[in-house]
């Protein structure tokens, strides 16, 4: 089994551009779609969108293993469970469908 550090290094080596650049691209598309309207509460909107996507992706990556997800995220398992309930209404995210 490839350890987490090796996976991180592999991901860095195969990523064409940094995550920051992807975020900038997404924000540009968002602003273009606003067609001159001014968004309100953009900071919270972006943080919630990114954080919920992060938690969904990590739970799929670890196939629902909350201990592993919390370790990879650098948060406690309690914080992980709170965020999962906040964003998805359940703590059972990323589990394979039977």
Output the pLDDT for position 52: 94
Within a domain: residue 97?
A: no
Q: What is the mean pLDDT of residues 36-52?
A: 91
Burial class (CB in 10 A: 0-12, 13-18, 19+), 3: exposed
pLDDT-derived band at 1 (thresholds 50, 70, 90) equals: very low
Report the C-alpha gap between 87 and 53 in whole angstroms.
9
What total of structural domains would you count in the chain? 1
Put simply, whether the predicted model's pTM sits higher than 0.85 gets the answer no
Q: What is the CATH number for 51?
A: 1.10.10.60
Within a domain: residue 57?
A: yes
Within a domain: residue 6?
A: no
Give the residue numbers spanning the domain of 26.
Answer: 16-88
Higher pLDDT, 1 or 52: 52
Report the C-alpha gap between 42 and 79 in whole angstroms.
24
């Amino acid at each position: 089994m490839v350890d987490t550090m090796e996976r991180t290094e592999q991901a860095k080596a195969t990523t064409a551009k940094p995550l920051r650049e992807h975020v900038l691209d997404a924000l540009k598309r968002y602003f273009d779609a606003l067609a001159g309207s001014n968004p309100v509460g953009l900071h919270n909107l972006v943080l919630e969108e990114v954080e919920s996507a992060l938690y969904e992706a990590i739970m799929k990556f670890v196939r629902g293993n909350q201990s592993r997800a919390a370790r990879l995220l650098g948060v406690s398992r309690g914080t992980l469970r709170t965020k999962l309930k906040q964003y998805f209404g359940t703590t059972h995210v990323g589990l394979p469908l039977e």
